[in-house]
Structure 1
């Protein structure tokens, strides 16, 4: 598949505990803004539609036919952009929801991914997924991780074996955890020789104070750009082949 330039937007947004309607509205605004800045893909943090509220996961879990997904899909189509948003997902094989992502494509296709590697304590409320997920955009093949997924060496290796040339992590990372996680993500980039992108929370959610710092690492594992803040913003970059360029932070006012 011929690779062309791709532009990716990492949404750094506040979330409201359990308020899907308000969070969805914020998503729709950021989707439109990302499209205006020329993005082909916009990525939101882990459980971005509900907040990282594990005790509410069962109550708030989305079915695949959720009208909220229909709203995201319409926004994807209207703005010609792939949308990746986080939410608890109901699945047939488990009584517990998974920590999931919905992926909406401009052709109307809706796909799902469930986090495979859970943090300690998450298994009390959520089930784990069992399948890796990669998708194609503009000739690129993108591997998707949800937070602790990237802590398993098998996850990024599997993405690479499935042909991924970009690796995206949708996460909740705290102030105290960022340094260690950033080292892991940098190592993944240099080991597999592909850019690695992080979309993180900025709110206090689920008892964690998230640190923001949406970051882009190049294929050598070097930081190309970080928001270096907890500000409401979009961190943007363009990628052609394995080269990252035109990286910038777009503030949201």
Structure 2
């Protein structure tokens, strides 16, 4: 199965512009016969916690139909990031669009202290399937907390997919951790980071894939948008700028 990490530069608060970027990357990935494409944390709005309240994405929002249509047209699963309405507030969400069972939403369970003022934590780990592969999503900070991967593996995860908004230094510091998760739990780890200014820091790409033995097999640059495509059957990854 081919999985694409879409390293993009979201524009803060501009859902329409970001939507267009998403659809362009989805079209490009579809030409490569990708079955799952993953975008960075809060990719639809940009990583801007202060905007979450005014830019909350609702499942009834009409523009989400573009993702449903792309999913149907290309037979591709699409995972995008957005602030979503939760039972007790606003959550950092990953919206997973599939032909069947349709839209599923994962809410970030372990928040960074800086996020607690704006978001409420999710309560349940999502495991979704693509081509019979069981995939556990993780969102940035929580992917660095060992108990999150433990929980995901206990639920049967075979791949660990991370959407992020991190500095280059943060990505470099996390590399050994992601390699260890992959090796310990014998599951590939794929991390999709954004580029460009976020909140009060610069997100600096370096999206990467570690195979189930903990070997980093491909990585994108710090400052260029692109796709990293990983074939889980051949264990080969390619970069496309």
- Calculate the TM-score normalised by the size of structure 1: 0.92
Q: Please state whether the residue corresponding to 2:195 is helix, strand or coil.
A: coil
Q: How does 1:46-195 map to 2 (within 5 A)?
A: 46-91=41-86, 93-94=87-88, 96-107=89-100, 109-195=102-188
Q: How many residues align?
A: 241
- The list of structure 1 runs, each at least 4 consecutive aligned residues, that deviate by more than 6 angstroms after superposition, is none
Q: 1:63 and 1:85 mapped to 2: Cα distance? A: 13
SS at match of 1:75: helix
Residue matched to 1:3: none
2:222 to 222, 229, 233: 229
In structure 2, distance between residues paired with 1:229 and 1:201 = 9
Output one character per residue of 1:82-125: Cα deviation in whole Å (capped at 9) or x when no partner: 0000000012x21x310001000034701100000111110101
TM-superposed CA distance for 1:233, in Å, is 0.6
Question: Does structure 1 conserve the Cα–Cα contact (< 8 Å) formed by 2:168 and 2:222?
Answer: no
CA-CA distance at 1:181 after TM superposition: 1.5
Q: Distance in 2 between matches of 1:130 and 1:210?
A: 27
Using the TM superposition, give the Cα deviation of residue 18 of structure 1 relative to its aligned residue in structure 2, in angstroms: 0.2
The CA deviation at 1:20 is 0.2
SS in 2 for 1:210: strand
Counterpart-to-counterpart distance in 2, 1:153 and 1:174:
20
* Residue range with higher mean Cα deviation, 153-162 or 195-204: 153-162
> In structure 2, how many angstroms separate the alpha carbons of the residues matched to 1:182 and 1:130?
27
- 1:132 match: secondary structure: coil
Match of 2:239 in 1: 249
Distance of 2:108 and 2:63 partners within structure 1: 20
RMSD: 1.2
- How many angstroms does 1:78 deviate by? 1.1
Q: Name the CA distance, whole Å, in 1 between partners of 2:54 and 2:187.
A: 38
Kept in 2, the 8 Å contact 1:78–1:106? The answer is no
Q: CA deviation at 1:175?
A: 2.0
DSSP 3-state at the match of 1:224: strand
SS of the aligned residue for 1:194 comes to coil
Query: TM-score of the superposition, structure 2-length normalised?
Result: 0.97
Task: Flag structure 2 segments of 5+ consecutive residues without an equivalent.
Answer: none
State the 1:196 CA deviation.
0.3
Distance in 2, matches of 1:14 and 1:121, equals: 22
Structure 1 unaligned regions, length at least 5: 1-5
**1:71 & 1:250 partners in 2: Cα distance?**
24
